């Protein structure tokens, strides 16, 4: 009877291969998984939702008060007055009264052409990682507030 010779890898060879694969995974994974960019993009989407929700709540208050068609008015809630344009919040420095955004987390720039540009405080200066709220210009569907999210450069 012939003896059958077994062939295969020894345990030490398998352990060495596993260690090498682990080292490669640790050094290569961060290049493929950029979690900061994904996190910033998600916070932009969250701020967009907060802007939409806050603007809709202000519009609801304006509709209840009967001023939703006025080009310039205001609504009050719990002692806080919010300036409105056609029932939606006016793009001014009082945005913290109607949107749930922490001022230390966001750099907000109010411009003269009736919009607010939000940029994460942690984003690189000059990056296009922004959410822009453009206030309403009328009561028609194409004149309602718009929200522009630019995730490039995050």
Q: What is the pLDDT of residues 3-60, one digit of tens each?
A: 667 777 888 999 999 999 999 888 887 777 777 778 888 999 999 999 999 999 999 9
Torsion angle defined by CA atoms of residues 143, 139, 74 and 112, in that order, rounded to the nearest 10 degrees: 20
pLDDT digits (tens, 9 = 90+) for 97-122: 998 888 888 889 998 778 999 988 87
Query: How far is 64 from 21, CA to CA, in rounded Å?
Result: 64
Query: How far is 123 from 132, CA to CA, in rounded Å?
Result: 15
Tokens of 41: 């993009």
Res. 72: pLDDT tops 80: yes
Start-to-end CA span in the chain (Å)? 71
If one compares 134 and 40, the residue with the highest pLDDT of the two is 134
The mean pLDDT of the chain is 88
Query: How far is 78 from 87, CA to CA, in rounded Å?
Result: 18
H or E stretch covering 93: none
Please state the φ and ψ torsions of residue 3, each to the nearest 5 degrees: -85, 130
pTM summary value: 0.76
């Amino acid at each position: 009877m012939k003896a059958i010779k077994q062939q295969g890898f020894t345990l030490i060879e398998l352990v060495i291969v596993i260690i090498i694969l682990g080292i490669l995974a640790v050094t290569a994974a961060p290049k493929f998984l950029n979690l900061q960019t994904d996190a910033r993009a998600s916070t932009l989407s969250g701020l967009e939702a907060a802007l939409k929700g806050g603007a809709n709540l202000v519009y609801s208050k304006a509709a209840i008060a009967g001023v939703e068609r006025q080009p310039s008015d205001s609504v009050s809630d719990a002692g806080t007055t919010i300036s409105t344009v056609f029932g939606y919040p006016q793009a001014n420095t009082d945005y913290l009264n109607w949107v749930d955004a922490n001022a230390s987390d966001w750099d907000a720039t109010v411009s003269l052409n009736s919009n607010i540009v939000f940029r994460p405080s942690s984003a690189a200066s000059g990056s296009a990682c922004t959410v822009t709220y453009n206030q309403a210009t009328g009561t028609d569907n194409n004149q309602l507030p718009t929200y522009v999210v630019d995730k490039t450069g995050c």
